[in-house]
Amino acid sequence: MKKFLTIILAGCVSLFAAADEGMWLLPLLEKMNIKTMQQMGCRLSADEIYSINHTSLKDAVVIFGGGCTGEVVSNQGLLLTNHHCGYSSIQSLSSVEHNYLSDGYWAMTLGEELPVEGLSVTFLDSFTDVTERVEKATKGLSGADFEKAFADISAKLTAPLTAADKYISASVVPFFGGNAYYLIGYKRFNDIRFVGAPPSSIGKFGADTDNWMWPRHTCDFSVFRIYADKDNNPAAYSADNVPYQPCRALNVSIKGVEEGDFSMIMGYPGSTNRFMTSFEVAEQRDLTNAVCIFCRGERQKILLEDMLADPAVKIQYASKYSGSTNGWKKWIGMNEAFGKLDVERRRAANEAEFIQWTGKRKCRTKKYGTALDDIAQAVNERADARRTMLYLRETLANIEIGQIGGAVSSMAGDPSLEKRIDRFYKNYSPATDKKVAVRMIEIYRDSVGLATLPVLYMAVVEKFGGDIAAYVDDLFAKSVFASRETLAQAMSRPDASAFLAEDPAAQLNNAVMDLYRDRAAAAGKAGEKLNAGRKAYIAGQIEKNKGAAMYPDANFTMRLTYGQVKSYSPRDGVMYDYYTTLKGVMEKEDPDNWEFVVPGRLKEIYTARDFGRYARSDGSLPACFIMTGDITGGNSGSPVMDGDGNLIGLAFDGNWESMSGDILFEPDLQRCICVDIRYVLLIIDKFGRCGRLIDEMNIIY
């Protein structure tokens, strides 16, 4: 491992100054990044950003829920994240009578802060290189033998951490395609309460139309609070719990940003594929993206139609719809960027260089010579299985009556089943699900064929003469899962388990899952070859590019990225400024379009120019800004900080022109879109009239 790290580290600092690419591991900042960061305007030491010996900036940054980032901004556990990160929690607390999505919410006292069932916040506790121990324990092994040995060494490595502190969980995580491993410890808090958020007309302004776009005018934030027991430790919800006292909270700066300012982002980027080959690019574009774009687009049409027609359905499906459209639009943009930026050809050119390099020495050929062939063969071998899996996931697995049928069958005897059932039916419209079911079965029939699902095939073809709508009507008429009431009656029967297993919705789900598992097993055989090829290819790239800046792909572990506040030109004759203002919100207003409605209170603030200390020097109110940091999904809600580590904004999106950025970083085009903290504070203070939250924060002028 020492040799491996030497290869990675050599020369990185000097080369990195030319670009802002990189999702950097915090333990390596001192060796790899801090000099360049300081040259760019960072006034902190690496130890002040990340330290294992004392508090540092990393202690104020958390995993929010299961897929976002948040930051602590007060000594009472107050936490900021994106509105779209808090969206599902806000939706779960909403009803037609108390619609916090459309109306917003502001807790004026601690007692009004609302517990969110199932929501957690997780702090990073430790991050330790254990590559040598893992490699020693797994040397020469593959397949099931490797998995067993890896599980055994992971258990040995995590045991001391969890034994020393009952609140710590730990795991061993691979990096660089399995060429490095880190032992990571976390501390999770499970009593998280909703404090406030603007209405969706502010927090989700522009909705799908503006998603992934710049210029942007969305005040994408929500406010939560971490609660702990009387000893400041994690605890399940209790009325006796008190606000958590963190070891570190971020200062909040309202000094503002200017073109060229240094800025950095700390958070949990989810997944990138910067070592992706041309074969995988083609697979992503022509298979994964193509299938998902079409299937989700068809389902979304049905959901949106019902949501706009019924306020109750709009609340029920708000989070489901938003989660679907986010990926759908990203994949559309990714395919467009693949074409415009010639990503497949550029990857192929890199591979040609790699082949030429490996061929110059026998030792290289021995270690890396088959890597690309293995990847190409694996992609080809798994194509049919992956195609079926994708269609199953995006169509039949989205028939919700089957989802609950499968859940009840698989969770029999689980004490959490009743809560699962309650949550499901709270957010379920049978009429909407019927429409979705018909369309999803049609798509699967036309794309894959119902004969792969004998239960469904026989029902549709033999009993209903191929009439899918008639089959769906019959399914919903006969299934006890069509309503909470009929399910409750069925579950009270003495033969409930056997009876429910025979339910047509449960049978549909079982058929879908059985086929999915079968296809996953087939794809998994090719996956072993693919993983081995990737590991060798990445190791070879690291050796080939000795002296160049290298960092592992994102895998939802804490990273730091940094760059500058910077405008850009997306195409000839067009220049996008680095910031937007509230004026742009008013210019985009369209009372007849749900995506661009502006609340009356916000228009009053704008007309009165009641911006107070949050205004720019020219008197305008900042809305959003862009910077050159390297982010991806999972970074949503991440703190954007200045050179002193003060909070200046929240990262919430990437820009359309760089939608292929998970594969290739584009320094001239790639931008992180951030909501300016001054807009956030104005909405809390002037719009929400919740000054008590502002009083908690340490505001830097």
Q: Are residues 531 and 587 in the same domain?
A: no
- Residue 38, in any domain of the structure: no
Phi, psi of 554 (to 5 degrees): -65, 140
The answer to the question of residue 129 being in a domain is yes
pLDDT at 10 over 50: no
Are 643 and 262 in contact, with CB atoms under 8 Å apart?
A: yes
Residues 575 and 685 in one domain: yes
Claim to verify: residue 299 and residue 151 sit in the same structural domain: no
- Kindly state whether residues 394 and 525 are assigned to the same domain: yes
Q: What is the pLDDT of residue 548?
A: 76
Give 18's pLDDT tier (boundaries 50, 70, 90).
very low
CATH of the domain at 642: 2.40.10
**φ and ψ at residue 197, rounded to 5 degrees:** -165, 150
Distance CA 671, CA 665 (A): 10
The average pLDDT across 509-521 equals 96
| Residue 425 identity (one-letter amino acid) | Y
pLDDT reported for residue 625: 98
pLDDT at 37 over 90: yes
The burial of 455, by beta-carbon neighbours within 10 Å (0-12 exposed, 13-18 middle, 19 or more buried), is given as middle
What does each C-alpha distance from 343 to 270, 288, 337, 350 come to in angstroms? 21, 16, 8, 11
For range 312-332, the mean pLDDT: 96
pLDDT tens track for 155-194: 999 999 999 999 999 999 999 999 999 999 999 999 999 9
Structure confidence by residue, pLDDT tens digits, 557-596: 999 999 999 999 999 999 999 999 999 999 999 999 999 9
Look at strands 78-81 and 579-581 and give their pairing: unpaired
Check whether the bond before 27 is cis (ω within 30° of 0): no
Residue 465 DSSP class:
T
Residues 6+ apart with CB under 8 A from 560: 23, 24, 26, 29, 33, 49, 50, 264, 265, 266
CA distance 392 to 401: 15
Provide CB contacts within 8 A for 38, sequence distance 6+. none
pLDDT over 70 (residue 11): no
399 is a domain residue: yes
Query: Which residue type is seen at 145?
Result: D
Is the model's pLDDT at 465 over the cut of 70?
yes
Q: Which of 23, 595, 625, 20 is nearest to 329 (CA)?
A: 595
The confidence score (pLDDT) of residue 20 equals: 80
Average pLDDT over all residues of the chain: 95
Per-residue pLDDT at 19: 53
Residue 612, burial from CB neighbour count under 10 angstroms (0-12, 13-18, 19+):
middle
Exposure on the CB side of residue 202, measured as CA atoms within 13 A: 26
Domain count across the chain: 3
- Residue 136: pLDDT above 50? yes
Ramachandran quadrant class, 309 (left: phi over 0; alpha: psi -120 to 50; beta: rest): alpha
Contacts of 460 (CB under 8 A, 6+ apart): 441, 445, 450, 466, 467, 468, 471
Nearest to 405 by CA among 483, 318, 470, 469: 483
Residue 492 inside a domain? The answer is yes
With H, G, I as helix, E, B as strand and everything else as coil, classify residue 193: strand
Residue 41 lies in a domain: no
CA distance linking residue 194 with residue 225, whole number of Å: 7
State the average pLDDT over residues 107-131.
Answer: 97
In percent, the amount of the chain with pLDDT more than 90 equals 94
Q: Please, what sign has the CA dihedral across residues 464, 466, 469, 471? A: positive
Tens of pLDDT, residues 211-220: 999 999 999 9
Q: State percent of the chain over pLDDT 70.
A: 97
217 catalytic? Reply is no
Same domain as 407, residue 287: yes
Does any domain span residue 565?
A: yes
The predicted structure's pLDDT at residue 7: 43
Write down the pLDDT at residue 168.
Answer: 97
- Is 497 catalytic? The answer is no
| Assigned token pair, 517 | 């598992």
CA nearest 175: which of 632, 524, 559? Answer: 559
Question: Do residues 270 and 67 lie in contact, with contact meaning Cβ atoms separated by under 8 Å?
Answer: yes
* pLDDT exceeds 50 at position 98: yes
- What mean pLDDT do residues 63-92 have? 97
pTM for the full predicted model: 0.94
Instruction: Give kind and range of the element (H or E) at residue 640.
Output: strand 639-641
The answer, yes or no, to whether residue 511 has pLDDT greater than 90, is yes
Domain stop point among 250, 270, 290: 250
State the amino acid at position 439 in one-letter form: R
Based on the fold, state whether residues 583 and 515 are members of the same structural domain.
no
**Domain, as residue range, for 477:** 278-537
pLDDT recorded at residue 546:
87
* Residue 453 domain flag: yes
Minimum mean pLDDT among 11-15, 33-37, 263-267, 687-691: which range? Answer: 11-15
Judge if 529 and 422 occupy the same domain: yes
Question: Distance between CA 602 and CA 623 in Å, rounded?
Answer: 13
Of 20, 59, 83, 84, which residue is the catalytic one? 84
**Confidence class of residue 4 from pLDDT cuts 50, 70 and 90?**
very low
pLDDT tens digits, one per residue of 384-421: 999 999 999 999 999 999 999 999 988 878 889 999 99
| Catalytic residue check, 220 | yes
Distance CA 231, CA 242 (A): 9
Stretch (H or E) spanning 197: strand 191-197
Instruction: Judge whether residue 9 has pLDDT over 70.
Output: no
One domain, residues 591 and 522: no
Q: Concatenate the DSSP letters of all residues of 451-476 into one string.
A: GGSHHHHIIIIIITTT-HHHHHHHHH
Q: Are residues 608 and 527 in the same domain?
A: no
- Quick check: 600 pLDDT over 50? yes
- Same structural domain for residues 533 and 436? yes
Verify that 498 and 636 share a domain, yes or no. Answer: no
In a domain, 650, yes or no: yes
What was the pLDDT predicted at 410? 85
Which of the following is catalytic: 200, 636, 638, 658?
Answer: 636
Catalytic residue among 59, 220, 261, 374: 220
What is the pLDDT, as a whole number, of residue 12? 39
What distance, in Å, lies between the first and last C-alpha atoms of the chain? Answer: 46
CA angle 203, 204, 209 (to 5 degrees): 155
Per DSSP, the three-state class of 237 is coil
**8 Å CB contact between 77 and 227:** yes
- Section 64-84 average pLDDT: 97
Sign of CA dihedral 321, 327, 330, 334: negative
Which domain-ending residue is among 231, 250, 269?
250
Residue 126 is classified by DSSP as E
Largest Cα–Cα separation, the chain: 74
Q: Sorting pLDDT into bands at 50, 70 and 90, what band is 550?
A: confident
CB 499 within 8 A of CB 490: yes
> Domain boundary at 504, 537, 570, which?
537
Same domain flag for 334 and 388: yes
Q: Is 574 exposed, middle or buried (0-12, 13-18, 19+ CB in 10 A)?
A: exposed
